[in-house]
Structures are given as structure tokens and as C-alpha cells.
């Protein structure tokens, strides 16, 4: 009876390299195929978020990648700023509605990959409510009010996510001030 040859380490390495290469090519193909779909879905989420953040508005005029001027009956009533803060699971992407008096009127979390049950509480809505309970504390706050302790509280066990939202909102004000100063 003939003895079976064991595959050599070199042959095993070649086979595994071919399998890994084919897997990488397949993954790249799938990524390139789904990339425009993901981009389109994010654009829809952002567009729907505009009315959510500033429900009294009837028109949103995009100024650049981060700023919308909000209008009602042709009059400028505020701004929506797209910004992000660093959370536990990556960037927390936000739309922040700011009225003409520079007070916050609404916030929408566009994207967050926070820990379920902890950091994800930033988007939890209480039964019978329509707005995330955590984000409500930002309503009617001005830039000078945006720090923990005086009306802005972190979520216990999710301070990194809470800080990410706070930094994102503060960043929205920085972006807005740059825009307003460039308009002068």
C-alpha cells in the first residue's frame, strides 16, 4: 500500500494565501457595490433629520457640507449644523438645530455605534414620548450652558458617549461661528 504524502508547509501556505486573496477581492467588490447605497441611505437619514431637528421650518438651504440655513415663510429662523463627537464606539454624528438667538432647538443622532444598553441610551425614547430623553436636556441651552453639571448630565455608565454628544454639540457651535464670521 502506498503511503499518503502530507501536504508541505509551503503548499498549505500557498493555498491559504490564495483563499485569503480571493476573500479580500470579494470583500472589496461587495464594499464597492454597497458604498453608493450606503451613501444614499445616509443622505436620506440626514434629509429626514432636518425636519426632526427643526420641525417649525418649511425650507432648508444647504450652505456647505456642515451648515443648513433654516427658513420659515422665507425668513431665516436658524441653522442646522452637522457635527460629530468621539464616543466609545467611534464618532457620534449629530444634526444640531440652533435658532437665531443661538439656542438649541433640537438634536438628531445620525450615526452612533455605542454599547447597547449603555452608550446607546443617548438615543433611547421613553414610552409615550417622541424625543430621546437624554437629548432633551440640551433644548433651549446656549453655548455658555454646555458643560456637565449645570443642567447637562452624563449617563451613568456611559460617560464617554455622553461626552461625545456634548463635544459634538460644542463642535457644532464652533462650525456655526466660523460660518457666521465668514458671512460678515
Q: Where are the domains of the chain?
A: 47-183
Nearest to 81 by CA among 182, 145, 176: 176
* Total-model pTM: 0.78
Instruction: Compute mean pLDDT per 10 residues along the chain, 184 residues long, and list them.
Output: 69 93 95 90 85 91 94 94 92 95 94 82 88 91 85 83 93 95 80
Phi, psi of 28 (to 5 degrees): -65, -40
Taking CA atoms, 46 is separated from 35, 52, 135, 169, in Å, by 17, 10, 17, 16
Dig out the grid coordinates for 149 from the structure: 453639571
Cell of 73: 415663510
Q: How far apart are CA 65 and CA 176, in angstroms?
A: 12
Amino acid at each position: 500500500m502506498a503511503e499518503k504524502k502530507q501536504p508541505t508547509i509551503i503548499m498549505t501556505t500557498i493555498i491559504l494565501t490564495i483563499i485569503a486573496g480571493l476573500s479580500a477581492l470579494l470583500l472589496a467588490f461587495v464594499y464597492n457595490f454597497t458604498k453608493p447605497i450606503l451613501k444614499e441611505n445616509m443622505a436620506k437619514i440626514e434629509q429626514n433629520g432636518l425636519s426632526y431637528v427643526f420641525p417649525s421650518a418649511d425650507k432648508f438651504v444647504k450652505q456647505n457640507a456642515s451648515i443648513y440655513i433654516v427658513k420659515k415663510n422665507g425668513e431665516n429662523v436658524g441653522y442646522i449644523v452637522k457635527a460629530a463627537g468621539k464616543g466609545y464606539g467611534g464618532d457620534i454624528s449629530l444634526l444640531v438645530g440652533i435658532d437665531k438667538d443661538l439656542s438649541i432647538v433640537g438634536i438628531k443622532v445620525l450615526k452612533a455605534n455605542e454599547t447597547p444598553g449603555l452608550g446607546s441610551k443617548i438615543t433611547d425614547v421613553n414610552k409615550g414620548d417622541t424625543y430621546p430623553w437624554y437629548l432633551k436636556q440640551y433644548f433651549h441651552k446656549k453655548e455658555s450652558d454646555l458643560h456637565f453639571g449645570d443642567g447637562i448630565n452624563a449617563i451613568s455608565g456611559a460617560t464617554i458617549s455622553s461626552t461625545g454628544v456634548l463635544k459634538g454639540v460644542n463642535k457644532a457651535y464652533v462650525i456655526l461661528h466660523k460660518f457666521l464670521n465668514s458671512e460678515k
